[in-house]
């Protein structure tokens, strides 16, 4: 049984917590897209980990963790993360596998990310400035450098010299020395090479012997390069299609898809967010939800649950179920709103518009739902949730058309309700 766990909103839904929680039922955990723009928080062994490139299964011994060809890898960021988790007692050894076809983020990509944002001015994306977009640009333009290229010094030199010259033309200086870049890459290869292999072949063999695999998405459906709120998106396919292209596995290898969604909505960076709360309530959600970027520390924009957006994620990804996270953050609010449709120039819209200007012009249409007075924080059994919280969850299930198979009531592994009898119950079998 192989499942994909991915973001059903604008990222930061709590994928890290859910993937870590489910990992004991799997043998392999794979990242298929994105890079160290991701920040997946996991609380384990009494401390906090923010995983960026390493799959969120890494904290469980014996699990193989895969970085697929669809991921863009910054070697320095990867090593820093490996050092960080190793220092915390996590043994990596041969548990890590990196695709030879994954593209590299090189020093000029970070510069070009910053430059591109500066040049866009008012129209900036609000990227994480990790060089993600420019690395994917080089990939699509067929001039990128892949992990496997590090083994071929001569071809690597040619590619790096060519790309650094292009960088110099764009930036307008010659401060970047291609020889330094090459030396760094040589050192990176020495450290990385034992982990590098043909990921598609590895996964085919793993499947052949029945090892269950989890595919971990980064970012979220509304940040997907094709299906998100373009151009305010990331540069990869965070949706389920990315699993196949980002790892070299066939669609039939995916037996189920679990979407992760917060009980409200957040977004970091620019772009429309119809249910955004800019006043007191927005601050209240930001404070109680600790909504500050795991990677950049930027305050996240907060708003009510947008069921139009989540329903869209259900359609695009064929979600079987949702993991509904951060329900506890709504504790104590007398009244909650759920955005069930949009209103645009007097007309009602029940589906996500494809055009960002149109989305920006949409007003949310809300349904009011009663809040609850006793806390859900730390509740581990569905029956123990306050009646109003259960009604809220049921209503979200009704509007989105999928069951909330998991409900998260805190950042710790234990603060989780796993719904018995849900379609996804088989994924959690002990």
Active site residues: 12, 40
Establish if 37 lies at the interface with ligand IMO (CB under 6 A).
Answer: yes
- Among ligand GDP, Mg ion, ligand IMO, none, what binds residue 130 when CB lies within 5 to 8 Å by partner kind? ligand IMO
Q: In the bound complex, what is the minimum distance in angstroms from residue 415's beta carbon to ligand GDP? A: 6
Name the DSSP letter for residue 121: G
Q: Which of 12, 111, 216, 291 binds Mg ion (CB under 5 A)?
A: 12
CB 102 within 8 A of CB 67: yes
CB 99 within 8 A of CB 195: no
Establish if 353 lies at the interface with ligand IMO (CB under 6 A).
Answer: no
User: Scanning residues 275 to 304, which ones bind ligand GDP (CB under 6 A)?
Assistant: 290, 294
- Among ligand IMO, Mg ion, ligand GDP, none, what binds residue 411 when CB lies within 5 to 8 Å by partner kind? ligand GDP
Pairing of strands 363-370, 335-344: antiparallel
- Among ligand GDP, ligand IMO, Mg ion, none, what binds residue 328 when CB lies within 5 to 8 Å by partner kind? ligand GDP
Longest dimension (CA), the chain: 67
Burial degree of 315 (CB within 10 A; 0-12, 13-18, 19+): middle
Q: In the bound complex, what is the minimum distance in angstroms from residue 51's beta carbon to ligand GDP? A: 8
Burial degree of 417 (CB within 10 A; 0-12, 13-18, 19+): buried
Q: Which stretch binds ligand GDP (CB under 6 A): 37-45, 73-81, 88-96, 207-215?
A: 37-45
- Output the CA torsion 153→154→155→161 (10° steps): 100
Establish if 133 lies at the interface with ligand GDP (CB under 6 A).
Answer: no
CB 89 within 8 A of CB 45: yes
Residues that bind ligand IMO (rule: CB under 6 A) add up to a total of 23
Establish if 323 lies at the interface with ligand IMO (CB under 6 A).
Answer: no
d(CA 402, CA 400): 6
User: Scanning residues 127 to 146, which ones bind ligand IMO (CB under 6 A)?
Assistant: 127-128, 130, 132-133
Please report the DSSP string for 132-144 in residue order: HHHHHHHHHTT--
Closest CA to 387 of 398, 374, 400, 396: 374
CB 55 within 8 A of CB 65: yes
Q: Which of 294, 319, 322, 404 binds Mg ion (CB under 5 A)?
A: 294
Establish if 282 lies at the interface with ligand IMO (CB under 6 A).
Answer: no
Interface with Mg ion by CB under 5 A: which residues? 12, 39, 294
Interface with ligand GDP by CB under 6 A: which residues? 7, 11-17, 39-41, 290, 294, 325-326, 328-329, 408-411
């Amino acid at each position: 049984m192989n499942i994909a766990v991915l973001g059903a909103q604008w990222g930061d839904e709590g994928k890290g917590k859910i993937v870590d929680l489910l990992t004991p039922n799997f043998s392999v955990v794979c990242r298929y897209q994105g890079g160290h723009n991701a920040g997946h928080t996991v609380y384990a062994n009494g401390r906090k980990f923010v995983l960026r490139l390493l799959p969120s299964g890494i904290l469980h011994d014996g699990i193989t963790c895969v970085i697929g060809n669809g991921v863009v890898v910054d070697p320095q960021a990867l090593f820093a993360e490996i050092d960080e988790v190793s220092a915390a007692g996590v043994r990596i050894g041969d548990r890590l596998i990196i695709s030879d076809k994954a593209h590299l983020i090189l020093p000029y990509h970070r510069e070009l990310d910053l430059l591109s944002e500066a040049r866009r001015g008012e129209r900036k994306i609000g990227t994480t400035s990790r060089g993600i977009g420019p690395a994917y640009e080089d990939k699509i333009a067929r001039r990128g450098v892949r992990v496997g290229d590090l083994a071929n010094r001569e071809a690597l030199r040619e590619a790096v010299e060519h790309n650094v010259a292009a960088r110099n033309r764009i930036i307008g200086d010659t401060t970047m020395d291609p020889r330094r870049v090459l030396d760094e890459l040589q050192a990176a290869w020495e450290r990385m090479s034992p982990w590098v292999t043909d990921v598609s072949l590895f996964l085919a063999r793993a499947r052949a012997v029945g090892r269950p695999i989890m595919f971990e998405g980064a970012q979220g459906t509304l940040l997907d390069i094709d299906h998100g709120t373009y151009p305010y998106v990331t540069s990869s396919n965070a949706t389920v299609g990315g699993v196949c292209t980002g790892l070299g596995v066939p669609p039939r290898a995916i037996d189920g898809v679990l979407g992760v969604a917060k009980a409200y909505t957040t977004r970091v960076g620019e772009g429309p967010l119809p249910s955004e709360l800019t006043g007191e309530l927005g601050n209240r959600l930001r404070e109680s939800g600790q909504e500050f970027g795991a990677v950049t520390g930027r305050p996240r924009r907060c708003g009510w649950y947008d069921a139009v957006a989540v329903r869209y994620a259900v359609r695009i990804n064929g979600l079987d179920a949702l993991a509904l996270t951060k329900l506890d953050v709504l504790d104590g609010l007398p009244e909650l709103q759920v955005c069930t449709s949009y209103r645009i120039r007097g007309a009602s819209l029940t589906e996500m518009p494809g055009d960002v200007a149109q989305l920006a012009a949409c007003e949310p249409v809300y349904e009011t739902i009663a809040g609850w007075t006793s806390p859900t924080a730390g509740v581990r059994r569905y029956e123990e949730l306050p009646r109003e919280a259960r009604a809220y969850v049921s209503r979200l299930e009704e509007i989105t058309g999928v069951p909330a198979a998991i409900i998260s009531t805190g950042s710790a592994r234990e603060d989780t309700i796993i719904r018995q009898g849900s379609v996804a119950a088989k994924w959690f079998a002990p």
